[in-house]
Amino acid sequence: MAVPIQGQVGPQVLQDGATATLRIDRSAAQVVQELHGRFYEQTYRNALYMGGMTALTSISNATFTSGTLGATCTPIVGIWNPGTSTVNLAILQALLGITITAATATGCAPFVWAVSTGNNALTLGNVPVNRKTLAASGSQAKVFGGAALTGLTNSLVVAIASALTGGQSTNASVVEGTVAGTPSIAGGFTAENLDGSILVPPGGVLALLATTTPVAHSAVSGLIWEEVPL
């Protein structure tokens, strides 16, 4: 014997925990749709945060590279999850914008993600911004962009290449805009969709670094992440 499935025509307004019938349209067909935007639910529930290097900042120093992996390292963008945190940081997206600031420039070469664990006493970093309230509050993390990892206990280790790029794509010195030295530009602004494939646990640090020391390059950067209870 067939059991009919009933539904309700039109949207419903419900509270969390409520039980509801399936939604159907006026022809009695079941309505299936994507609800809101991709990250709407996490944002609405105060779980999404952002931060990074918001002022154009020169990265023409070895401290922004994989040649500096200790406490003096200054990530182009990075994040620290304190050891006392009660969440994992699920990294969703990373952003990088680079501009060349002089006639003669040396590129950054590929970018890499470096990691460290067991860090409980970093003293710098900024308070992230909540993507629902737009207030710098609520996060358990500290975000870095141009600030040193002062207090880092365990040196960073390069873990994997980043898909982010920008600026001069060669690490040789090039005179910009001349026939003899036409620059090889890799693009000014890029995004890397990590989609939660990197979790930063309590005590963990994640940092974006160049692999060579650039000359005449400045950057802005950003991270977007979800804070998920342990």
What is the residue-level pLDDT of the chain in tens, covering all 230 positions?
667 777 888 878 888 888 888 888 777 878 777 778 889 989 999 999 999 998 999 999 999 999 999 999 999 999 999 999 999 999 999 999 999 888 888 888 799 999 999 999 999 999 999 999 999 999 999 999 999 999 999 999 999 999 999 887 666 666 655 545 555 454 578 999 999 999 999 999 999 999 999 999 999 999 999 999 99
In this prediction, residue 179 carries a pLDDT of: 46
In a domain, 3, yes or no: no
| Amino acid sitting at position 170 | T
Predicted structure pTM score: 0.86
In this prediction, residue 155 carries a pLDDT of: 98
The closest alpha carbon to 214, from 52, 76, 71, belongs to: 76
End-to-end C-alpha distance for the chain, whole angstroms: 46
In a domain, 17, yes or no: no
Residue-number span of the structural domain to which 129 is assigned: 38-229
List the beta strands (DSSP E) in 55-130.
57-58, 77-80, 87-100, 104-106, 111-116, 129-130
Contact 99, 188 (CB under 8 A): yes
Cα torsion at 173, 179, 180, 186 (round to 10°)?
Answer: 40
In a domain, 24, yes or no: no
In a domain, 116, yes or no: yes
In a domain, 19, yes or no: no
- Which residues are within 8 A (CB) of 14 and not within 5 positions of it... i.e. 6 or more apart? 20
Contact 111, 211 (CB under 8 A): yes
In a domain, 29, yes or no: no
Tokens found for residue 189: 């602004």
In angstroms, the CA 37 to CA 180 distance is: 48
In this prediction, residue 72 carries a pLDDT of: 98
In a domain, 15, yes or no: no
Give the chain's domain count: 1
In a domain, 50, yes or no: yes
